[in-house]
Amino acid sequence: MKQLLTGNEAAAEAAIYAGCRYYYGYPITPQNELINYMSVRMPQVKGTFIQAESEIAAINMVYGSAAAGGRTMTSSSSPGISLKQEGISYLAGSELPCVIVNIQRGGPGLGDISASQADYFQSVKGGGHGDYRVIVLAPSSVQEMADLVYDAFDLADKYRNPVLILGDAQIGQLMEPVEFKKEFRENLPQKEWALTGAKNRNRKIIKSFYPVKGELEVFNAKLQNKYKEIEKNEVRYEAVNIHKADVILVAYGTSARICKEVVRKSHQFKFRIGLIRPISLWPFPSEFIREMSERARCMLTVEMSAGQMLEDVRLAVEGRCPVHFYGRTGGGVPTSLEIIKKIVEIMPKNRAAKTLLQFAEVK
């Protein structure tokens, strides 16, 4: 049955469906619907809900529950996620599975509470100290939020690695019909590596400290091998109207929705605009973007930032075609019209582009 939920609520309910029974959070706009929802829902499923004293405490409670073998989650928004970075580095270093939801808001600093995609670098390049990666999934609808959060728990367990859900104020607060179609999980099997008390077995240690010279390098090599495996298996993207496209837009999350509007409007003209929407931001769909860059005349990355994913697109394209950028910052959300104008600007000699410009100007 479909329910009308905010993205924040859908994330919370999907976590419950996936068997998450330990949630730790701290209030921050625009993710408050998530923590509020969990405070009601967790006791109903005999789970744990703690409103922690800080984001730092919350991520460390997640660390504890993950080490003890529970499915666990925390959520926050940009400034709070910055505070969690120490904990995320430890989680990655101790190879502990968990799900972290970032409902991004504008920054830097306290910024504002409106939608932003300015935490891309922080999310996909590590975020905290040390050589590590977290799997980053970016939903662009409430239904996709529910689906990705559910999958995130399986991915986290499969690779013993934190998974970050990267949303924004718009996805978090937007209400759309959503359906929870997957299995409601309870009583999941115990994890063989988890701390449960050394009963009839040798003791176990969960740690990220390798003080003996050489050990840390061996451990890092193990991590890097794991990351290669993730890059091989877990790339997700959506391609829209991609073949024979003159311009390929590259956008994720909220920006991708607006780009879809642009693709729809372009159907009225003899002008082909495609869209690549990375769903996994790490691992990034570099190979597919590279392949498409051989066929497209140019690419245009659209973000609610000053140009962050842009760097990964350019690294993937390696100069095979020009990669342009259109972005809004500080809580600004691009309009479809602004994007069309940008397309016209980067393809000035194209006749079809001129028709598009007329369209844009009439509007």
Partner 1 sequence: MTEKVILAGFGGQGMMLLGRLLAQAAMANSLYVTYFPSYGTEVRGGTAVYHLVISSEEIFSPLIEEADTLIVMNQPSYQKYKEMIKPDGLMLLNSSMVKCDLFPDVKIYKIPATEIASKLGNVLVSNIVMLGAYLTIKKLFTAENILDQLSISLSGRKKDLLAINKQALEKGMQAIHSFTA
Partner 2 sequence: MQAICEKPESFIDTPTHFCPGCGHGIVLRLIAEIIDAWGIRDKTIGLAPVGCSVLAYNYLDIDMCEAAHGRPPAVATGIKRVHPDHFVFAYQGDGDLAAIGMAEIIHAANRGEHITFIFVNNAIYGMTNGQMAPTTLVGQKSATTLSGRNPSNDGYPIRVCELLSVLEGSSYIERVSISSPENIRKTKKAIEKGFKTQKEKRGFSLIEILSPCPIYWRMDAIESMKYIDEKMTRTFPLGIIKDWE
Q: Which residues bind partner 2 (CB under 8 A)?
A: 22, 24, 48, 50, 52-54, 56-58, 60-70, 72, 86-87, 90, 94, 195-200, 203-209, 211
Q: Does 360 bind partner 1 (CB under 8 A)?
A: no
Q: How far does Cα 335 stand from its chain's mean position?
A: 22
The tally of CA atoms less than 13 A away on the side-chain side of residue 264 is 8
Q: Can residue 337 be called a binding residue for partner 1 (CB under 8 A)?
A: yes
| Residue 52 Cβ vs partner 2, minimum distance, rounded to whole Å | 7
Contact of residue 258 among partner 1, partner 2, none (CB under 5-8 Å per partner type): partner 1
Nearest approach in angstroms of CB 19 to partner 2 is 13
Q: Which does 333 bind (CB under 5 to 8 A by kind): partner 1, partner 2, none?
A: partner 1
According to DSSP, the β-strands at 280-282 and 323-327 are unpaired
Instruction: State the binding partner of 224 from partner 1, partner 2, none, CB within 5 to 8 A by kind.
Output: none
Distance in Å, CB of 289 to partner 2, minimum: 36
As measured in angstroms, the least distance from the Cβ of 78 to partner 2 is: 21
In terms of CB distance, is 89 or 104 closer to partner 2?
Answer: 89
The nearest distance, CB 114 to partner 1, in angstroms, is 8
Q: In a 3-state reduction of DSSP, which class is residue 308?
A: coil
Q: Considering CB distances under 5 to 8 angstroms, the limit depending on partner class, which of partner 2, partner 1, none binds residue 54? A: partner 2
Q: Which of residues 163-182 bind partner 1 (CB under 8 A)?
A: 170, 173-177
* Residue type at position 95: E
Strands 247-250 and 175-178: unpaired
In the window 94-113, what residues touch partner 1 (CB under 8 A)?
113
- The closest alpha carbon to 316, from 286, 337, 340, belongs to 286
Contacts of residue 74, defined as CB under 8 A and 6 or more positions apart, other chains included, come to: 23, 24, 25, 55, 58, 59, 61, 62, 84, 98, 100, 101
Is residue 264 within the footprint of partner 1 (CB under 8 A)?
yes
Contacts of 126 (CB under 8 A, 6+ apart): 89, 132, 133, 134
DSSP secondary structure code for residue 332 in this structure: -
